[in-house]
Chain A
Amino acid sequence: MDFASAQVIGAGLAAIGVGAAAIGVGNVFGSFLESALRNPAAADGQQGRLFIGFAAAELLGLIAFAVAMIILYAR
């Protein structure tokens, strides 16, 4: 296999991490909504923590994207 094809396949494999982060972000918002509907009075006070969890989950997906870009444009 030549370098260019291996590069594209590697970048594609690295992009799987973005999908995994999508599961994480879905979990964060899903769990928040589930518990916010149980106790709507407490939901507004937890919005900061919601976005912290979202930011942490999203960062890992974005790192997977950065790795994919590094592989794709490697010389």
Chain B
Amino acid sequence: MVAESGKIDPMHQFLIEPLFGRDWAIAGQNIAFTNSALWMVVTLAALMLFMLGGMKRELVPGRWQAMVESFTGFISGMMATNIGPEGKKFTPYVFSLFMFILIANIMGMMPVGVVGLHPFAVTSHLTVTGLLAILSFSIVLVVGFWRHGFHFFSLFVPHGTPVYMIPLIFVIELFSFLIRPFSLGLRLFVAMTAGHILMKVLAGFVINGVNAGALTVAIVSIPSFILMIGITLLELLVCAIQAYVFALLTSLYLNDAINLH
């Protein structure tokens, strides 16, 4: 038999457990090295390997350098169309954000389960995505107030608003502005969590169907397995789309702060 059957527990994969340093502490807070931290390190190592391999600055780019340049060109093109020439300064931040999220998402999908390790999607936790969202939001606030001072508040009153509508519009626009870090962090977190739960549930169908006998293999396991291949491809697409959407929305919010409508 493949593995023991039983009740499917799709939430177990998101458990954060300390690997070593259980008794490390700073000011009473435990700072053990967890599996989440391990996969962040793996993501960072993969990212560094990818970038260093393509940053040889050859005049005629090889395959690897062309790959890296297509990523950097993609992000700098996005910044140029959304923000304009002012966006060049923020390209390194948005590029780091995009590459970290993309590689963290893909690392969570890696089939290292076949050698007995447990992949862990770093971005399936609100603490990580929420922190990235707060970072983006803080940069927007700092840049906005730095460049425009209190004139930044004119962002909340669109041009041509009738005077008697200004109080209402101001409150609505303020709320839609303040909700941004939540929607930004929540979108990435829930998209990754939902995909991983779906795949775990389907994997549970396959295992339980194989264990239950030949009939259930034919009517449950094989269709579930075929569906799972499709869902895995869809999830790889979602990994890329969510990283792109996060970077795109960050650049749009930066555009609001730099150009004020």
* Residues of chain A from 25 to 75 with CB closer than 8 A to chain B in the complex: 48, 51-52, 54-55, 58-59, 62-63, 65-66, 69, 73
Look across to chain A and name the residue whose beta carbon is closest to the beta carbon of B188: A62
Q: For A55, list chain B residues within 8 Å (CB).
A: 187, 245, 248-249
Q: Is the CB of A51 within 8 A of B244?
A: yes
- Distance in angstroms between the alpha carbons of A65 and B183 in the assembled complex: 14
Look across to chain A and name the residue whose beta carbon is closest to the beta carbon of B197: A69
- Distance in angstroms between the alpha carbons of A47 and B160 in the assembled complex: 28
CB distance from A19 to the nearest CB of B (A): 14
B139 within 8 A of A: no
B11 within 8 A of A: yes
Q: Which 3 A-B pairs have the closest CB atoms?
A: A62-B190, A55-B245, A59-B187
- Distance in angstroms between the alpha carbons of A52 and B81 in the assembled complex: 14
Interface string of B223-254 (1 = CB under 8 A from A): 00000000000000000010011001100100
Query: Can you show 9 pairs from A to B with CB atoms below 8 A apart?
Result: A52-B249, A55-B249, A59-B183, A59-B186, A62-B187, A62-B191, A65-B194, A66-B190, A69-B193
Interface string of A3-24 (1 = CB under 8 A from B): 0000000000000000000000
Q: For B78, list chain A residues within 8 Å (CB).
A: 48
Given the contacts A62-B187, A63-B186, A51 and B194 also touching, CB distance less than 8 Å: no
* Residues of chain B from 157 to 211 with CB closer than 8 A to chain A in the complex: 183, 186-187, 190-191, 193-194
Q: Which residues of A contact B (CB under 8 A)?
A: 48, 51-52, 54-55, 58-59, 62-63, 65-66, 69, 73
Interface string of B11-49 (1 = CB under 8 A from A): 100000000000000000000000000000000000000
Look across to chain B and name the residue whose beta carbon is closest to the beta carbon of A72: B11
Q: For A52, list chain B residues within 8 Å (CB).
A: 248-249, 252
B65 within 8 A of A: no
Not counting A52-B252, A58-B191, a sample of 5 additional A-B residue pairs whose C-beta atoms are within 8 angstroms of each other reads A51-B241, A62-B190, A65-B194, A69-B193, A73-B11
Given the contacts A48-B81, A48-B248, A51-B241, A58 and B187 also touching, CB distance less than 8 Å: yes
Partner of B245, one of A51, A63, A65, A69: A51
Q: For B186, list chain A residues within 8 Å (CB).
A: 59, 62-63, 66
- Distance in angstroms between the alpha carbons of A69 and B11 in the assembled complex: 10
Look across to chain A and name the residue whose beta carbon is closest to the beta carbon of B245: A55
Q: Is the CB of A63 within 8 A of B252?
A: no
- Distance in angstroms between the alpha carbons of A55 and B82 in the assembled complex: 17
Q: For A69, list chain B residues within 8 Å (CB).
A: 193
CB distance from A52 to the nearest CB of B (A): 7
Q: For A65, list chain B residues within 8 Å (CB).
A: 190, 194
Look across to chain A and name the residue whose beta carbon is closest to the beta carbon of B244: A51
Q: For A51, list chain B residues within 8 Å (CB).
A: 241, 244-245, 248
Q: For B252, list chain A residues within 8 Å (CB).
A: 52
- Distance in angstroms between the alpha carbons of A52 and B245 in the assembled complex: 7
